[in-house]
Amino acid sequence: MILKAAVLGHPVLRARAEPVEAKDLRKPALKRLIEDMADTLFEYNGVGLAAPQVHASLRLFLALESADGMDEEDGPSAGAKAKLRVIANPEFYELSKEMEEGPEGCLSVPRLRGLVPRHTSLIIRGLDGDGRPLELAASGFFARVLQHEADHLDGLVYLDRMKDLRSLAFTSEL
């Protein structure tokens, strides 16, 4: 089922989300939420989606992992091979000192894009969709997606990270 997206101004986007228990990730209600989030992600051709974006204040997000066939502007391209990652209670380790500005957009900030500085590589730990411990190394675009989605769990949107709002533009003007 396609879920309704919370857009900028809704309080769920500015609240710190609640941790998820490992046992809850195995329950039908949370499994259903994850399935619906995946349907929503693919419906909108996204590369990541956090639970607060669909009105669920949980420390949980989905992210497509792939360096092959991903387009930073338009999401996964036709034929892209990507693995959908479910990550609960994420924590970042070994963030690179190197930062890079890159374009970001968001389902919760529709039709806009801006340049956002992000760490170029990192290690993330949390729980997977079955409540098992998860550790991933990420770099490049996938590292950007992970940081973007994790921000939603702390009540942040990409606009909060932008250094210069002059790069903010409507997608139709880019």
Residue 123's pLDDT is 98
Residue 80's pLDDT is 54
Decide: 59 and 125 in contact? Cβ < 8 Å.
no
User: For 152-162, what is each residue's pLDDT tens digit?
Assistant: 999 999 999 99
Q: What is the mean pLDDT of residues 125-141?
A: 97
Decide: 34 and 129 in contact? Cβ < 8 Å.
yes
Q: What is the mean pLDDT of residues 102-122?
A: 97
Task: For tokens 């639970």, name the residue.
Answer: 51
Question: Is pLDDT above 60 for 76?
Answer: no
Please state, in angstroms and rounded to a whole number, the distance separating the CA atoms of residues 44 and 172: 16
Question: Is pLDDT above 90 for 73?
Answer: no
Question: Is pLDDT above 50 for 132?
Answer: yes
Residue 125's pLDDT is 98
Decide: 61 and 127 in contact? Cβ < 8 Å.
no
pLDDT band at 166 (very low <50, low <70, confident <90, very high): very high
Residue 78's pLDDT is 45
Is pTM beyond 0.85? Reply is: yes
Domains and CATH numbers, the chain: 11-173 (3.90.45.10)
Residue 81's pLDDT is 64
Q: Of these residues, 18, 98, 149, 173, which one is catalytic?
A: 149
Burial class from Cβ neighbours inside 10 Å (0-12, 13-18, 19+) for residue 105 reads buried
| 23 phi and psi angles, rounded to 5 deg | -65, -30
149 is catalytic: yes
